[in-house]
Amino acid sequence: MADFNVSSREDGEISVVKVEGYLDAHTAPDLENEFNKMIERKRYKIVVNFSELNYISSAGLGVFMAYVETMREENGDIKFSNLKDDVFSIFDLLGFPVLYEFYKDEEEAIKKFR
Amino acid sequence: MNHFFTNIIDGSKKEKLEKTLFSFVVLVLFKFLFPLVDNSILVILNDFLIYSTLGLTFIFLNEITSSNTENPIPLILNVGILSAILFFITSLSSVIFDKIENIEEVNGIIYTIVSLVISVTFIAFAIYILSALKTLYFLRQKQVTENHFLRMLFVILLASFAGTLSKLNPDLAFVEKTFFIVSIVLVLLNSFRVSWIAFLSKRQKVFLLLISIIMSGLFGLNFAMFSETNIIEQIVFYFSPGVRVFYILIMLYGTIYFGIVFFTTLFHLPTAGAFDQKREEITSLIDLSKLMTQVLDFKELADGLTEATNNVCNSDSAWIVIENDDEHELISVSNIGYLEAEGVSNNLLKELELPLTDVLTLNKKVLKVKFQNDERTYVFQSIIIAPLKVHDRINGYLFATKRQKYKFDKDEIKAIGAFADYAALAIENAKLIKESIEKERMENELEVARNIQSKLLPDENPTSDKLEVDALFVPAFEVGGDYYDYFKIDDDKLAFVIADVSGKGVSASYIMAEVKGIFESLSQVILNPKELLIKTNDILGKSLDKKSFVTALYGVIDKKNGIINFARAGHMPLLICSGGKLKEYLSKGIGLGLDFTDRFNSNIENMEIKLNNDDILILYTDGVTESQNNENVDFGLERLKNVVEDNCSGELSDITKNIFKEVSLFSKEKQQHDDLTLVLFKWKN
């Protein structure tokens, strides 16, 4: 079983979540906890930085799908940034870029919120 | 003879009562018929009837007195009351009435009745007392035979009978005296079986102390009063001299016995408290052993252990801490607050060099524990920390503390160590059982999922003369959600689908079943792949949960015109190898279940391709391209393309086999974590 780590920092109204390692069915609950914490603290503007993420499974994708709607309902969003090429192609094939916003880096994503 | 006796001794209480009453009635009749017992024959008959009644009454009463062997105090109380009544009757009568002159000649009906009543009362009470003494004799004795007691009874009977004889023949008085003395000796010897006193609680012992000295006194007085002449003594004597001797001996027996009981109890009193405590410890241990078998509810077991530690080891508080990775979790506390226990153990565990391998005793320990709002100081006389060890692995610790004056003694420390071992085993068992249940549950679930999945996939590939079809499906252990299918629309058109449901296990296979149903029905009515997928997405919107989605590639091959029309919903692109060159066809389209608005509909497109002779169409799922080797490198689309191109010109089934071969070689021992699906078509004009 591979490792996964999620951490976050605040940039004003926006929370920047960093995901690292392998996001699959075993590690997805960690990410869910993080999103739950954000909702509890009414932080709905989220940028997820994928620079250290090596792998995402359908379970991992499911987590994002589950929470984006909630964030958008509260005038927030989940924006994706810094994806590695192979990870991006997984999202791309599925058509995620049509539904969600992907950026080359964090700054761009943060700017979009303001 | 034996048979005769066993017939009397065995038998139910009712039968015994019947026999006793029968004998008594005969005795009463005799007394009315022959109020004056003046010749030898009558004397002997008199005694015979009395003794048989006595015997039967004794047998009957013995059953009653022996019925409660747990607590002898009520029985002793009864005996005390009876002896008090005897005392009062005797003493009051001798004060109120003078002795009767010439009693041998008195023979009125009234006298007969009165003498009968009094004699019977006194004898009956004496028999009851004797019966009670027998019960006490055998109380809590494990190994004793009846012989000693019976011998004593026999000698008492002999002395009684000798008493009657000596009235008939005064020269035989010495016989009576001899048996009398022997009886007393035997009574004395038999009175030392008082070990049952040890088993009483301290309170009962104190009570017994008071009661026994009073009773010994009463019996003594009863004995003394019958040694001189007074009205009651006279009445009993003329009822039967033997019975008077019998009565005296019983009163003497009571005096001696309860005197001995008094002194024994007195000497037992200082240790009574300790005895009670030991008994409580044993009870606790027995309760705990019963609890040990209860492995499923670990919390109850842990609570039993901490409680037992307090009861048996005399600690003030006890608690158990379990080590989970590097964290310490408190799972049971007894006689201490949860936060306090947590604070104390965290302090101690930080201080000590972990892990502890043996039981550690700390004496006179002072701890300052920080809580959220304040800091408290705890002073412990003694703390024991016992590791929960299984197979040299430490799973946690059992803590026991004493705040009062004395430290833990050796026995207590040993007991705590034993409890810690119990706890360790129990934790291990509980964990193993939980894991085993979980494993079985998962295996069952996977079994179900695999069954569902295998039923959903096609039995055969619909090869026809223009279109050769081959497929390969290798399921992952955890059932990955791949699905492919064929739908014959008419003689010229064959529809197909390849899909991948997100997630694993039963939930994935469930969605797969629904998806199959949708495709089966829609393929017959909607020929336009894009429209079909849009409709599929709509339908799925009603039942699919937020986290799930399905990728699919659906197409229709028109065999008459050699055209393939397909649409892709988030799935891998269609590969076509034509003239030895592989091309990727990635039409626009997002996965099913990701979006149920117009965005799905407006972002999906059809793609139509004209097929050439010998074209190979390859459909695959990400299980192929995401197969990893030991360095975690994906097989990837490039390798797939290469393999196809290398084998393009061969047999269709060979292409399939070779792709699989390459993937297997690439990923070697790494366990396949996703389903692997390949569907290949070969077109012949």
- Residue B645, both tokens: 């191109």
What b-and-e string marks burial along B485-507, b requiring 16 or more CB atoms within 10 Å of the CB? bbbeeeeebbbbbbbbbbbbbbb
> Mean of the pLDDT values across residues B509-516?
91
Task: Answer for the pair B683, B562: CB distance below 8 angstroms, yes or no.
Answer: yes
Please give the residue of chain B at the shortest CA–CA distance from A92: B570
* Complex ipTM > 0.85: yes
User: Higher-confidence residue: B178 or B325?
Assistant: B178
| Selected residue with higher pLDDT from B419 and B535 | B535
CB contact under 8 A, A66 and B547: yes
Within 10 angstroms of residue B611's Cβ, the number of other Cβ atoms is 24
pLDDT digits (tens, 9 = 90+) for B601-619: 999 999 999 999 999 999 9
- At residue B607, the pLDDT reads 95
Q: Is the minimum CB–CB distance between A86 and chain B shorter than 8 Å? A: yes
Inform me whether the pLDDT recorded for B684 exceeds 80: yes
Q: Residue B196, CB half-sphere, CA atoms under 13 Å: how many?
A: 22
Q: Which helix (H) or strand (E) holds B361?
A: strand B360-370
- pLDDT (mean) for B471-489: 88
Confidence of residue B148 (pLDDT cuts 50, 70, 90): confident
Go through the domains of chain B in sequence order and give each one's CATH number.
73-277 (no CATH), 293-434 (3.30.450.40), 457-683 (3.60.40.10)
Closest CA relative to residue B516, chosen from B489, B484, B474: B484
pLDDT of residue B210: 94
CB atoms < 10 A from the CB of B541, how many?
14
Residue B374 tokens read as 């304040």
Tokens matching residue B231:
């009205």
- What does the alpha-carbon distance between residue B91 and residue B85 come to, in Å, rounded to a whole number? 10
Give the pLDDT mean for B60-83: 87
Mutation for testing the A interface, residue in B594, B601, B603, B638 having most A CBs under 10 Å? B594
**Token pair in block for residue B535:** 């409709």
- What's the mean pLDDT when you consider all of chain B? 86
Residues 6 or more apart whose CB falls under 8 angstroms from that of B137 comprise B144, B149, B190, B193
pLDDT for position B256? 94
Cα–Cα distances in angstroms (integers) from residue B596 to residues B428, B510, B531, B538, in the given order = 50, 20, 14, 7
Q: Please report residues of B whose CB lies closer than 8 A to that of A63.
A: 547
Structure token pair of residue B91: 């003493």
Mean pLDDT of B143-168: 84
The 3-state DSSP class for residue B406 equals: coil
Question: Span B396-405, mean pLDDT?
Answer: 88
* The pairing of beta strand B574-578 with beta strand B606-610: unpaired
pLDDT digits 0-9 by tens, B661-673: 999 888 887 777 7
For A89, the closest chain B residue by CA position comes to: B572
Model confidence at B145, pLDDT cuts 50, 70, 90, reads confident
Taking only the tens place, the pLDDT of each residue in A4-24 is 899 899 988 899 999 999 888
| pLDDT band, residue B32 (cuts 50/70/90) | confident
Share of chain B above pLDDT 70, in %: 96
Is B594 in Cβ contact with A95 (below 8 Å)?
yes
What number is the average pLDDT over the span B94-106? 70
What is the predicted pLDDT for the residue at B38?
67
More confident residue, B110 or B252: B252
By Cβ distance, the residue of B503, B572, B603 closest to A93 is: B572
Distance of CA B476 to the CA centre of its chain: 41
Asked whether residue B1 carries a pLDDT value surpassing 70, the answer given is no
pLDDT band, very low/low/confident/very high, at B219 (cuts 50, 70, 90) = very high
Q: What is the mean pLDDT of residues B357-381?
A: 83
Q: Is pLDDT of B29 > 70?
A: yes
Torsion sign, CA atoms B598, B601, B602, B603: positive
Residue B193 token pair: 């079986």
Q: What is the mean pLDDT of residues B93-110?
A: 72
Quote the DSSP letter at residue B586.
-
Judge residue B353's burial from the number of C-beta atoms within 10 Å of its C-beta, 0-12 exposed, 13-18 middle, 19 or more buried. exposed
pTM: 0.57
Q: Could you tell me the two tokens for B542?
A: 């009603």
Considering only the beta carbons, identify the residue of B547, B569, B594 that sits closest to A63: B547
> How far is the alpha carbon of A2 from chain B, nearest alpha carbon, in Å?
11
The more confidently predicted of residues B240 and B206 is B206
Q: Where are the alpha helices (DSSP H) in B526-560?
A: 529-543
In this structure, the number of other CB atoms found within 10 A of the CB of residue B552 comes to: 26
Chain B residues contacting A via beta carbons under 8 Å: 481, 500, 502-504, 546-549, 551, 569-573, 588-591, 594-595, 599, 603, 632, 634
* Structural domains in chain A, sorted by start: 4-113 (3.30.750.24)
Cross-chain Cβ contact B570/A58 below 8 Å: no
Nearest in space to A13 (alpha carbons), one of A36, A40, A46:
A46
Question: By three-state DSSP, how is residue B111 classified?
Answer: helix
* Of B171, B157, B334, the residue nearest B249 (C-alpha): B157
User: Which of B504, B547, B590 is facing A95, going by the closest CB pair?
Assistant: B590
> Is the CB of A94 less than 8 angstroms away from the CB of B547?
no
Minimum-distance CB partner of B547 among A65, A93, A95: A65
The runs of H, that is alpha helices, within B462-619 are: 505-525, 529-543, 598-602
- Nearest 5°: the CA angle B400, B402, B404 is 170
pLDDT in tens, A46-94: 999 999 998 888 888 888 988 998 899 988 999 999 999 989 988 999 9
Q: Token pair for residue B80? A: 């005390």
d(CA B589, CA A3): 32
Nearest-Cα residue of chain B relative to residue A2: B632
As a whole number, mean pLDDT of residues B281-293 equals 78
pLDDT at B541 over 70: yes
Cross-strand partners of B334: B318
pLDDT score of B5 more than 80: no
Contact A62 B547 (CB under 8 A): yes
Task: Note whether B626 and B620 are within 8 A (CB).
Answer: no
- Tell me which chain A residues have a C-beta less than 8 angstroms from the C-beta of B544: none
Kind of pairing between the strands at B676-683 and B616-620: antiparallel
Q: Is the pLDDT of residue B511 over 80?
A: yes
Of B503, B594, B599, the CB nearest to A94: B594
pLDDT higher than 90, residue B446: no
d(CA A104, CA A82): 5
| Any B CB within 8 A of A65 CB | yes
B563-597 tens-digit pLDDT:
999 999 999 999 999 988 999 999 999 999 999 99
Model confidence pLDDT, tens digit, residues B521-531: 999 999 999 99
Q: What is the reported pLDDT for B66?
A: 83
Is the pLDDT score of B259 beyond 90? yes
pLDDT of residue B102: 65
Length of chain B in terms of residues written? 685
